[in-house]
């Protein structure tokens, strides 16, 4: 079995809100909720990679290719999270430098 076929495709991006609409509508998601959800997804991917690596080391049913792919996916997810964090911090610092 090709390990690349077992990877789930990325979900299409959904708009955060429609232009011109207020963000106070019922059912709207706050920015902090989106960040928490993204961090939880990264945590889940890292946990899955850890489990794959443990299965590989203990002689479980995991083959080496799927374990390596899981670890790489976790690494890329973590790097993306850190890049977003850096951008958020730099945006915050830029706003704090603005004269009032």
Classified as helix, coil or strand, 56 is helix
Nearest to 18 by CA among 10, 28, 9, 8: 28
What's the confidence (pLDDT) of residue 18?
60
Tell me, what's the pLDDT at 23? 52
Report angle CA 77, 86, 69 to the nearest 5 degrees.
Answer: 15
Q: Which helix (H) or strand (E) holds 70?
A: helix 64-97
- Banded model confidence at residue 72, pLDDT cuts 50, 70, 90: very high
Q: Is the pLDDT of residue 75 over 60?
A: yes
**Which has the minimum average pLDDT: 58-62, 73-77, 89-93?**
58-62
Does pLDDT of 4 surpass 90? no
| pLDDT at residue 45 tops 90 | yes
């Amino acid at each position: 079995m090709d390990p690349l076929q077992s990877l789930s495709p990325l979900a299409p991006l959904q708009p955060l809100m429609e232009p011109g609409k207020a963000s106070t509508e019922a059912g709207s998601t706050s920015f902090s909720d989106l960040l928490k959800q993204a961090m939880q997804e990264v945590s889940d991917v890292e946990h899955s990679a850890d489990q794959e690596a443990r299965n590989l080391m203990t002689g479980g049913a995991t083959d080496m290719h799927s374990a390596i792919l899981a670890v790489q996916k976790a690494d890329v997810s973590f790097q993306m999270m850190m890049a977003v964090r850096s951008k958020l911090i730099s945006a915050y610092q830029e706003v704090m430098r603005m004269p009032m």
